[in-house]
Chains A and B, each alone.
Chain A
Amino acid sequence: MSSYKHLIVAALSIGAISVSSPAALQCAPVPDSITLNPNGKLFSPFTFNHAKHIQSIKECADCHHHTTGTLVLDPNCARCHQNSSPTAVVSCKGCHSATPFSPETLAAKRADKQRYHLDKMGLKGAMHQNCIGCHTKVGNGPTGCQDCHPRTQQGAAFYSTNRKGAKPAHAEEE
């Protein structure tokens, strides 16, 4: 590693230490808990224990690709982003669109011929893949839908929950 990079890493780690001060790197203080799925219709909103995750994971970039504190670790991203500054926005919704397949999003993608990140995930996909992916890998986190966010009444109707235990469709067909 070049001394230049060492310098950046050093500078950034100082940033990480003083991260609780709002002035540092213009970032907001790290929240201890976050309400996810705030507008959920089929599944209720729930509280995500950020503090607990920080404790057990330690490396911010394991969840946030680039954060206020570390360089991008993914060697693939580093090819272009090794000198990128830590971004002001680290929340998923800062980059991942909530409507990745809307006519507007698709048209904008088509129009922008220079665009590199063509396969960027939508918000819902990014979050679920992040959570479920890691929980599956480490083997000790919830992976079922309702383990995190219980269904609403509307959700129960949508999934025909009351028909649990009924004869499966294939039993008739044979």
Chain B
Amino acid sequence: MKRRNFLKACLIGGTTIALGKTNKGWASGSFEGYPEAMGVLVDTTRCIGCRSCEAACNKEQKLPEPDTSFDDPSVFEHERRPTSKAYTVVNRYQKEQPSGPVYRKVQCNHCNEPACLTSCFVNAYTKTQEGAVIYNSKVCVGCRNCMIACPFNVPGYDYDSATNPIVKKCILCYDTRLKYGKPPACVEICPQEALTFGHRADLIKLAHERIRATPERYVDHVYGEKEVGGTSWLYLAPVGFDKLGFDTTLSNDPIISNVKDFLGMVPMVLSIWPALFSGIHLLCKHEEQDGHGHDTDSNQEDTKP
């Protein structure tokens, strides 16, 4: 690619991004997810820590064999985070609590206004109308902004392939199940029905109804209803959420609201920085494609010089 072409790509890339961003609701709280979005209600009082959900996720997403079997309880000795090899993990908390330990499943929460999405300047992320936050590895430049932006510390990074780095995270089984109205694999396998699949709006009502019907069983809060602008995964808990590894300091505003003012002050950052990066990205992709034929991805075709 010539230098002139590179700069042209930067400009086009920058424009596309500037336009793209306005659709994503930069204004605080302007977008409340899709009204028909689906979600999952996790009732931690029902979970028995069997890790069947982890096994089901592993098979559904064709992830590599785990390092240790899915019924090895020794994994509970450490708090785990989702990785590129495990999109969901179950952790154990509150061992000393009289009614026994509390288990909590962790995965991408599929935010209504995803910070990963807003932080990504090549639009690799999409919030689908079904509620899933999915990811397109073909346009990803591997900058890892999303990993830093995610308030729940979710996206994992596949370091195995240095030439084509890929961010990996739970996609709510979008391609294989959600698209067809089916529940994700983890929900289907859960023996305790600790996971309830349904319309997000219905799940919120359901969660509050469970608290109302059995107030001795739950703390009066549905985690994810309002946090960072709301998430598609919602949680009920028997003890304070801070005791189960939840970040209870998150505001109810979407993450983007926190940086919006700052970004407004320095529009140069917005216009030059992403453009530069996407230029570099296109340059790389271009080189790659020369040898391997053309990528059919539309996002790339649009900006191809």
Spell out A's residues near B (CB within 8 Å). 76, 100-103, 106, 109-110, 118-119, 121-122, 124-126, 128-129, 132, 136, 143, 145, 158-173
Q: At the interface, is chain B mostly helix, strand, loop or mixed?
A: loop
Question: Are B55 and A160 in contact, with the CB atoms below 8 A?
Answer: yes
Q: B197 an interface residue at 8 Å Cβ cutoff?
A: yes
Verify A124–B193 contact, CB threshold 8 A: yes
By the criterion CB–CB under 8 Å, are B85 and A169 in contact?
A: yes
B193 touches A122 (CB 8 A): yes
Taking a contact as CB atoms under 8 Å apart, the answer to whether A119 and B70 are in contact is: no
Q: How far is the CB of B182 from chain A (nearest CB, A)?
A: 7
- Tell me whether A172 and B67 are in contact (CB under 8 A): yes
User: Which residue of the partner chain A has the closest CB to B58?
Assistant: A160
Contacts A158-B55, A161-B69, A167-B68; A129 near B193 (Cβ below 8 A): yes
B contact residues, range: 35 or more
Interface 1/0 per residue, B70-82 and A, CB below 8 Å = 1110110110100
**Stretch from B145-153, B205-213, B221-229, B278-286 forming part of the interface with A:** B205-213
In the complex, the chain B residue whose C-beta lies closest to that of A124 is: B191
Residue in A101, A122, A165 whose Cβ sees the most chain B Cβ within 10 Å: A101
Determine the chain B residues whose CB is within 8 A of the CB of A143 once the complex forms.
48
Q: How far is the CB of A66 from chain B (nearest CB, A)?
A: 18
Q: Is the CB of B206 within 8 A of A118?
A: yes
Query: Does B83 have its Cβ within 8 Å of any Cβ on chain A?
Result: yes
Residue of B nearest to A161 (CB): B69
Q: How far is A172 from B84 in the complex, measured between Cα atoms in Å?
A: 13
Find chain B residues with CB under 8 A from A164 CB: 68-69, 71-72
- Known: A101-B182, A126-B193; 11 extra A-B contacts, CB below 8 A, are A118-B205, A122-B193, A125-B46, A132-B192, A145-B50, A145-B71, A160-B69, A161-B69, A165-B68, A169-B80, A170-B80
B295 close to chain A: CB less than 8 A: no
Q: What is the minimal beta-carbon distance from B36 to any residue of chain A, in angstroms?
A: 10
